[in-house]
């Protein structure tokens, strides 16, 4: 099989920069409703071409290609490398070389990265239905050029820098299995860091415990404070971002074992053993101001681990919010909740759109993002009562766009300081000069909820045996 053509080019070469910049400066944000709740759902390791390639023209305006791609089951048996090194290999070779891992008995096809998800039995139909009934982004990129651990740091706090003034970014996952990430990791645990020239060799690996502001610091400082909750299946893993922030984790010894002991871990802000609690909280009118929802392995879409239920999981959360009856205080979640659905990295899969890159030639002094932004395209769906059906957005977005939207929605200010010429600025600042998620909320009054057909219901996830297996182990 001949490799598909690609827009990728050698490192530091301009990649479709002119047309992307044309979409990157939309001017002042449009007026948008103020939401009482924002729910951020993150799935794992897919590109738009991969998830939606079974029907690349499923609605007008979407930019999907399946040229020279072949179908593969969502719950296929192999995984493709998505380290920073794999990002550079894919960028520089047009995805020609992609190392994979697969268990014994798994038949690895030729060119396994050139696949789209087979939807012949409707496996990913809920994602298509969400897109056609609500909003779809053509230009959502992961902020970082690498795997899940740094990606979730960007999702939670806008950066994977060890500190506000550090010129480095954590760039990879941990180097051992087991209790692998965060401030309560075992002594000797390290994570690779990358400099402004894209080198992971110029500095030694560091302990994966960082100190800088995050979005929840702004939420807590608001008047009155904005409540939040982080739902995840397993404490201490690479996709549970708060455990790598020292002032949130507050590492301490409990029963002779190092654990996070901060108040957010003891007061219920961090639910680290049951993502399905989000469904219970919705039904109990206990949805917080901002919610991060991280799935178990089975529901994650992560190649080689999932069981194909990810689209049902996401649609069940959307339906639970849209169909929730009025709370005792008269609130109806559908009328005041924004739902943002995205994937944390590209997972090694092919995508025909080259990444939007900033500061292609590193500067002196270095600018924020040199050497490590931006990664490949990932899907993003936006759901609300104010989102027109079939809306397709062409402006450039990244994980920082989500942070910026929340900051603007709740009037929080920025995570980073006002110094925009040093590494002290975070991804939310960059998002503020590109696309606005407010563009997804243009209806003047709320419209009725359109439910997403599913085979599984919220009860199926709530009653399922608890799984502490995280969605990503590489």
Q: Of all residues in the chain, what percent carry a pLDDT higher than 90?
A: 63
| Tokens representing residue 313 in the block | 């999981």
| Tokens representing residue 192 in the block | 């690779």
Q: Across residues 289-318, what is the average pLDDT?
A: 95
Band (8; pLDDT cuts 50, 70, 90): very low
pLDDT score at 364: 67
- Residue 2 pLDDT > 50: no
Band (99; pLDDT cuts 50, 70, 90): confident
- Residue 48 pLDDT > 70: yes
What are the beta bridge partners of residue 377? 141
pLDDT score at 433: 56
pLDDT score at 256: 84
- Residue 347 pLDDT > 80: yes
Residue with tokens 């012949």: 120
Q: Which of 43-57, 348-362, 388-402, 447-461 has the lowest mean pLDDT?
A: 348-362
**Mean pLDDT, the chain, integer:** 86
DSSP-assigned states of every residue in 402-444: HHHHHHHHHT---SS-S-TTSTT--HHHHHHTS--GGGG---S
Exposure on the CB side of residue 197, measured as CA atoms within 13 A: 6
Q: Which of 97-101, 241-245, 292-296 has the lowest mean pLDDT?
A: 97-101
DSSP-assigned states of every residue in 190-214: -B-EE-TTS-SSSS--B-S-BB---
Cβ–Cβ under 8 Å, residues 203 and 145: no
Q: What size, in residues, is the chain?
A: 474
For the ranges 19-28, 177-186, 202-211, the one whose mean pLDDT is highest: 202-211
pLDDT score at 164: 86
Query: What CATH architecture is 17-462?
Result: 3-Layer(aba) Sandwich (3.40)
Give the DSSP H or E segment for 219.
helix 215-221
Band (24; pLDDT cuts 50, 70, 90): very low
What are the beta bridge partners of residue 337? 37
Q: Where are the chain's structural domains?
A: 17-462
- Residue 427 pLDDT > 80: no
Q: Across residues 143-149, what is the average pLDDT?
A: 92
Q: Which one has a higher pLDDT value, 19 or 196?
A: 196
- Residue 425 pLDDT > 80: no
Q: Across residues 387-406, what is the average pLDDT?
A: 93
Cβ–Cβ under 8 Å, residues 193 and 169: yes
Q: Which one has a higher pLDDT value, 90 or 28?
A: 90
Band (26; pLDDT cuts 50, 70, 90): very low
Q: Which one has a higher pLDDT value, 7 or 51?
A: 51
Dihedral angle, C-alpha 405, 406, 409, 412, nearest 10 °: -120
Cα separation of 347 and 65, whole Å? 17
- Residue 11 pLDDT > 50: no
Under the phi-then-psi rule, with left for phi > 0, alpha for psi from -120 to 50, and beta for the rest, what region is 72?
A: beta
Beta strands in 150-209 (DSSP E): 169-170, 193-194
Band (418; pLDDT cuts 50, 70, 90): very low
pLDDT score at 428: 67
Q: Across residues 442-450, what is the average pLDDT?
A: 95
pLDDT score at 436: 80
Cα separation of 73 and 210, whole Å? 38
Beta strands in 120-250 (DSSP E): 135-137, 169-170, 193-194, 228-231
């Amino acid at each position: 099989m001949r490799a598909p053509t690609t827009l990728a080019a050698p490192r530091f070469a301009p990649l479709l920069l002119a047309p992307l910049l044309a979409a990157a400066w939309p001017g002042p944000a449009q007026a948008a409703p103020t939401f009482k709740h924002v729910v951020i759902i993150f799935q794992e390791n897919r590109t738009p071409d991969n998830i939606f390639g079974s029907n690349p023209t499923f609605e007008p305006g979407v930019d999907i290609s399946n040229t020279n791609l072949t179908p593969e089951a969502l719950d296929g048996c192999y995984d493709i490398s998505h380290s920073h090194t794999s990002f550079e290999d894919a960028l520089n070779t047009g995805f020609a070389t992609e190392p994979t891992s697969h268990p014994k008995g798994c038949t690895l096809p030729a060119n396994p990265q050139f696949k789209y998800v087979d939807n012949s039995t409707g496996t990913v139909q809920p994602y298509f239905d969400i897109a056609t009934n609500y909003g779809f982004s053509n230009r959502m990129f992961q902020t970082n050029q690498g795997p899940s651990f740094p990606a979730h740091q960007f999702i939670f706090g806008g950066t994977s820098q060890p500190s506000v003034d550090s010129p480095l970014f954590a760039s990879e996952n941990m180097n051992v299995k087991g209790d692998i990430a965060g401030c309560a990791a075992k002594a000797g645990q390290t994570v690779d860091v990358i400099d402004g020239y894209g080198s992971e060799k110029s500095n030694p690996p560091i302990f994966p415990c960082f100190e800088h502001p995050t979005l929840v610091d702004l939420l807590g400082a608001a008047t009155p404070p904005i409540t939040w909750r982080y739902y995840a299946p397993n404490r201490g893993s690479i996709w549970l971002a708060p455990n790598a922030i020292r002032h949130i984790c507050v590492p301490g010894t409990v029963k002779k074992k190092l654990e996070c002991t901060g108040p957010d871990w003891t007061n219920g802000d961090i639910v680290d053993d049951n993502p399905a609690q989000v469904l219970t909280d919705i039904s109990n009118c206990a949805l917080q101001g901002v919610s991060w929802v991280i799935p178990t392995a089975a529901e994650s879409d992560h190649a080689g681990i999932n069981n194909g239920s990810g689209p049902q999981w996401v649609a069940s959360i959307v339906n639970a919010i849209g169909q929730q009856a009025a709370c005792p205080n008269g609130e109806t979640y559908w009328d005041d909740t924004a739902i943002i659905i995205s994937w944390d990295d590209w997972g090694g899969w092919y995508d025909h759109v080259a990444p939007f890159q900033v500061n292609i030639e590193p500067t002196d002094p270095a600018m924020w993002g040199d050497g490590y932004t931006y990664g490949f395209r990932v899907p993003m769906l936006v759901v609300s009562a104010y989102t027109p059906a079939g809306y397709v957005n062409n402006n450039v977005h990244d994980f920082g766009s989500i942070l910026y939207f929340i900051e603007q929605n709740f009037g929080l200010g920025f995570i980073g300081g006002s110094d925009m010429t040093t590494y002290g600025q975070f991804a939310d600042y960059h998002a503020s000069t590109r696309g606005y998620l407010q563009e997804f909320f243009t209806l003047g009054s709320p419209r009725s909820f359109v439910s997403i057909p599913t085979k599984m219901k919220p009860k199926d996830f709530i009653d399922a045996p608890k799984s502490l297996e995280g969605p990503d182990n590489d």
